[in-house]
Structure 1
Amino acid sequence: MDSYEELKGETLLDIGAAEAVFTLDTIDYIDRAYLFECDEAWIEALEATFAPWNDKIMIVRKYVSDVYDDNNITLDTFFQDEGRPIDNLFLKMDIEGYERKALKGAVHILKHGRQVGGSVCIYHLHDDKKVIESELKNFNLKTSVQPGYLYFEKEMRSAIIRFWS
């Protein structure tokens, strides 16, 4: 991000939250955050860390994917079930190579949401940069691959793509 001010009034979807450092850094700017994290090792720490902001944080213990079952949820289903608006959303996504599946489960949000943007990791799979950028552009979203590279799987890869409506 150029500035956390960009997130003023936004709802943050921290997909693959882990320790949720990004959410913690932006907590004073955002309206609400959904922390999607399945690793039980992080849950107790997340609950303790975000206790002072309990009114604006929700921890979701499901994998974000393109299917909906006991262990997985799609972003479209999550927002439909919650009855929440799909406007002013920022998706931060780092889910170890499942970013494509998560985007496939967010078709309605990406197609119909107003002021939807985010940052997606694009280094886990060899062709993530090309595939994910193409998927985002199919929704008429603007994209920008962030400068710099990450050494991963014995090659230099772009790490993050930003997108916005």
Structure 2
Amino acid sequence: MKITKSLRQIIKWFVPFGIIEYRYKKSGRLNAERIQKGNDIAIYFKNLDRDNQDPEIVKIIEYLERNQCSMYPYEFTKKCFSENIVIYMDKICKMNYVLHENKRMYFPKNWEANQIREYYNWLLMEQDVDSPHRYDTAVFRVQEGDVIADLGTAEGFFALSNVEKAKKIYLFECDNKWLRALKKTFEPWQEKVSIVNKYISDTTSKNYITLDDFLDGKEINFIKADIEGAEIALLRGAKKTLLNQKKLQFSLCTYHRQNDAEEINQILTQNGFTTEYSKGYIITIFDRDSKEPYLRRGIIRAKNNESI
């Protein structure tokens, strides 16, 4: 897919410096309705009485006074530039890849270099240490010898960052465009990485499985989930896992639906987990049904007593 100059101009209304959020675009286009939504959200924040706002909200207001409305309303988004990303071609499998922490990360065969460059740039920004979407921290992270479940793996960014220290990794991904790329990316570690082509849910059927049924008593230590609003269903299907796993950490997305952050936090704390949210907020420019105040927490991190 070629990114035209006019499309780049539209993109700037949504994410700084033309960075594309591929998960939320439709058919490669960002429509006028979403541009208008971004304008409306910016006006909403600029009209707030900042003297009565939390410092975190004031920081967002100040950002929007200087910048266009975007999903991540923070200065860290200006650190990444896709032009600096080198794309390599594997001449054997004819697939493009980037070097992520000196490890090959492959992309779908039909993706052009510019698309890969923009996408990987977005990932680097998304996982910046100051990002509301950051999965881990210096103290909350995968430990040596952990067993990981990466739910909603996509390109495998999180799993690839932790593959060398993990004892075992389960990659849950149902989007067929990623399966071949994932297989190539994790080929050097195929003895400890399994790709699971099923959706995680609160019931088990042909294409769906609960975490309890999948694990069936197997060890798990770190669960990362970005599954488009199915995070609560994940927890409902993980009652035994929540109760019986002695050393367990979660890093779950909480921004896909309006009340996810509060509901997920409640489930985890009721099961004895200590929780914290990632830094800052995400502006819900991607959700046409979002309402004031247009802010959601990005990630909830949780650990049980054995992990503390």
- Per the normalisation by structure 1, the TM-score is 0.93
Is 1:92 equivalent to 2:224 in the alignment? Answer: yes
Could you say if the C-alpha distance between residues 6 and 39 of structure 1 is closer, same or farther in structure 2, counting changes exceeding 3 Å?
closer
Give the Å deviation of 1:52. 0.5
Could you list the structure 1 runs, at least 4 aligned residues long, displaced by more than 3 angstroms after superposition: 3-6
The answer as to whether partners of 1:144 and 1:161 remain within 8 angstroms in 2 is yes
String of CA shifts for 1:71-91, please: whole Å, max 9, x gaps.
0011100011xx5234xx100
Is 1:164 equivalent to 2:296 in the alignment? Answer: no
The answer as to whether partners of 1:5 and 1:29 remain within 8 angstroms in 2 is no
* Aligned counterpart for 1:23 among listed residues 159, 172, 186: 159
Give the Å deviation of 1:150. 1.0
* Aligned counterpart for 2:265 among listed residues 128, 133, 144: 133
SS at the partner of 1:7?
Answer: coil
Give the Å deviation of 1:28. 1.2
The answer as to whether partners of 2:248 and 2:303 remain within 8 angstroms in 1 is yes
* Aligned counterpart for 2:248 among listed residues 106, 116, 126: 116
What is the root-mean-square deviation of aligned Cα atoms in Å? 1.4
Q: Which structure has the higher relative contact order (CA within 8 Å, separation 6+)?
A: 1
Could you say if the C-alpha distance between residues 150 and 78 of structure 1 is closer, same or farther in structure 2, counting changes exceeding 3 Å?
same
Give the structure with higher Rg (CA): 2
* Separation in structure 1 between the aligned mates of residue 236 and residue 271 of structure 2, nearest angstrom: 11
Deviates more, 1:1-10 or 1:21-30: 1-10
Report the counterpart of residue 137 of structure 2 in structure 1. 2
The answer as to whether partners of 2:142 and 2:162 remain within 8 angstroms in 1 is no
The answer as to whether partners of 2:150 and 2:170 remain within 8 angstroms in 1 is yes
Report the counterpart of residue 60 of structure 1 in structure 2. 196
String of CA shifts for 1:63-121, please: whole Å, max 9, x gaps.
000010110011100011xx5234xx100000000110011111101111111111000
* Separation in structure 1 between the aligned mates of residue 245 and residue 224 of structure 2, nearest angstrom: 16
Q: Which runs of 5+ in 2 are unaligned?
A: 1-135
* Separation in structure 2 between the aligned mates of residue 33 and residue 7 of structure 1, nearest angstrom: 13
* Separation in structure 1 between the aligned mates of residue 229 and residue 194 of structure 2, nearest angstrom: 24
Give the Å deviation of 1:138. 1.2
* Separation in structure 2 between the aligned mates of residue 31 and residue 37 of structure 1, nearest angstrom: 20
Give the Å deviation of 1:6. 4.0
Report the counterpart of residue 234 of structure 2 in structure 1. 102
The answer as to whether partners of 2:199 and 2:208 remain within 8 angstroms in 1 is yes
Could you say if the C-alpha distance between residues 123 and 2 of structure 1 is closer, same or farther in structure 2, counting changes exceeding 3 Å?
same
Q: Which runs of 5+ in 1 are unaligned?
A: none
Partner AA of 1:95 in structure 2: I
Partner AA of 1:53 in structure 2: W
Give the Å deviation of 1:5. 6.2
Deviates more, 1:46-55 or 1:2-11: 2-11
The answer as to whether partners of 1:14 and 1:92 remain within 8 angstroms in 2 is yes
Could you say if the C-alpha distance between residues 6 and 61 of structure 1 is closer, same or farther in structure 2, counting changes exceeding 3 Å?
closer
Give the Å deviation of 1:135. 0.6
Percent identity between matched residues is: 37
* Aligned counterpart for 2:178 among listed residues 17, 42, 49: 42
Partner AA of 2:152 in structure 1: G
